[in-house]
């Protein structure tokens, strides 16, 4: 959304301040012999900054013939590259605005729109960075090539100490300086917009679908496993119920059990299965009565006939 609002505006500001620029340097030459005094020289240059094609005529104080001089440098490639990136970024921003507003459903269908938008945003971010750096370096060279001090050194009449030369007008660089600033603002804007478009792609949604387990989640799972293990360990205690019932029934048969133990035994009796007295067939002399009476309840012995 930030690209929809600010990207077209800053793109226009970037290429509008660079393209259509016009600069002028005005120099006055005053010869010592007064034959051609107060001679003004106007040096004009503009976009695309092919300074090697800019020429001007300077007087020669020794003779009546004028000399033709040229500036040094060709910076058209950097300037045109910066302007081209700005124009295409402006057009793509307008297209993205139309798609976001009127074709939102088609944009999100099959996740193709966000992926294409993400890749194009990456390309424009890189192109803005490269073009802004190249244009900043080219602007620095343009300022050096059009420096009035360097221009005065090109004029042979100004190299003579008896003649006087002065600069009456210098170019204004505020417009070109602002173009460099707008270029780097576009870099920040497009790079920051990568995150917002990445959230619309399927890559971001896939990463959020399976979140990683945090330390608190691991501690809670360990606590649940511990509670489960403790509860499963306590279950075998219920199996001791039949043994307790056998002891209560044995004490009741002998008449030595008290009322409290009998109540507890009868309270647990409906919940657990009762054990019947065991019957043994065999000779009584082969059976150890003392050990069996201590371990089990009442027993019935049947002798063979």
Between CA 119 and CA 123 the distance in angstroms is 6
Residue 116 has a pLDDT of: 86
Is 303 part of a structural domain of the chain? no
Is 210 part of a structural domain of the chain? no
Residue 271 has a pLDDT of: 45
Residue 26 has a pLDDT of: 92
Residue 142 has a pLDDT of: 95
Is 276 part of a structural domain of the chain? no
How is residue 13 written in tokens? 């500001």
Residue 60 has a pLDDT of: 83
Is 32 part of a structural domain of the chain? no
Between CA 142 and CA 158 the distance in angstroms is 22
Between CA 93 and CA 102 the distance in angstroms is 14
Is 116 part of a structural domain of the chain? yes
Cα-flanking dihedrals φ and ψ of residue 301, to 5°? -110, 135
Is 220 part of a structural domain of the chain? no
Residue 259 has a pLDDT of: 45
Domain that holds residue 1: 1-22+76-163+171-201
Number of folded domains in the chain?
A: 1
Is 211 part of a structural domain of the chain? no
Residue 222 has a pLDDT of: 65
Tokens 């393209």 map to which residue? 19
How is residue 115 written in tokens? 């992926």
With helix as H, strand as E and coil as C, how does 159-226 read? HCCCCEEEEEECCCCHHHHHHHHHHHHHHHHHHHHHHHHHCCCHHHHHHHHCCCCCHHHHHHHHHHHH
Is 300 part of a structural domain of the chain? no
Residue 202 has a pLDDT of: 66
Query: Which segments of the chain have a pLDDT < 70?
Result: 1-4, 34-37, 202-305
Whole-model pTM over 0.75:
no
Between CA 1 and CA 4 the distance in angstroms is 5
Spell out the residues 6+ positions from residue 141 whose beta carbon is closer than 8 angstroms to its own.
73, 75
């Amino acid at each position: 959304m930030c690209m929809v609002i600010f990207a077209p505006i800053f793109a226009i500001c970037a290429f509008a301040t660079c393209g259509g620029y016009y600069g002028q340097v005005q120099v006055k030459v005053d010869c010592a012999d007064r034959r051609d005094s107060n001679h003004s020289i106007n040096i004009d240059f503009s976009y695309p900054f092919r300074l090697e094609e800019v020429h001007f005529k300077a007087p020669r104080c020794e003779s009546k013939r004028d000399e033709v001089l040229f500036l040094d440098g060709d910076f058209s490639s950097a300037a045109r590259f910066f302007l081209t990136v700005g124009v295409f970024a402006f057009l793509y921003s307008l297209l993205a605005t139309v798609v976001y507003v009127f074709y939102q459903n088609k944009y999100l269908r099959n996740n193709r729109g966000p992926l294409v938008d993400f890749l194009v945003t990456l390309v424009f971010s890189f192109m803005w960075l490269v073009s802004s750096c190249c244009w900043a370096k080219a602007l620095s060279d343009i300022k050096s090539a059009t420096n009035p001090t360097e221009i005065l050194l090109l004029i042979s009449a100004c190299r003579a100490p008896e003649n006087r030369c002065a600069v009456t007008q210098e170019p204004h660089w505020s417009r070109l300086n602002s173009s460099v600033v707008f270029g780097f603002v576009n870099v920040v804007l497009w790079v920051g917009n990568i995150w917002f478009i990445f959230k619309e792609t399927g890559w971001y949604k896939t990463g959020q679908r399976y979140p990683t387990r945090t330390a608190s989640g691991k501690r809670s799972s360990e606590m649940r496993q511990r509670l489960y293990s403790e509860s499963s360990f306590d279950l075998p205690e219920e199996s001791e119920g039949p043994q307790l019932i056998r002891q209560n029934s044995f004490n009741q048969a002998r008449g030595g059990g008290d009322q409290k133990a009998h109540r507890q035994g009868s309270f647990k009796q409906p919940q657990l299965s009762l054990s019947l007295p065991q019957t043994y067939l065999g000779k009584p002399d082969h059976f150890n009565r003392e050990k069996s009476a201590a371990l089990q309840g009442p027993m019935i012995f049947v002798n063979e006939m």
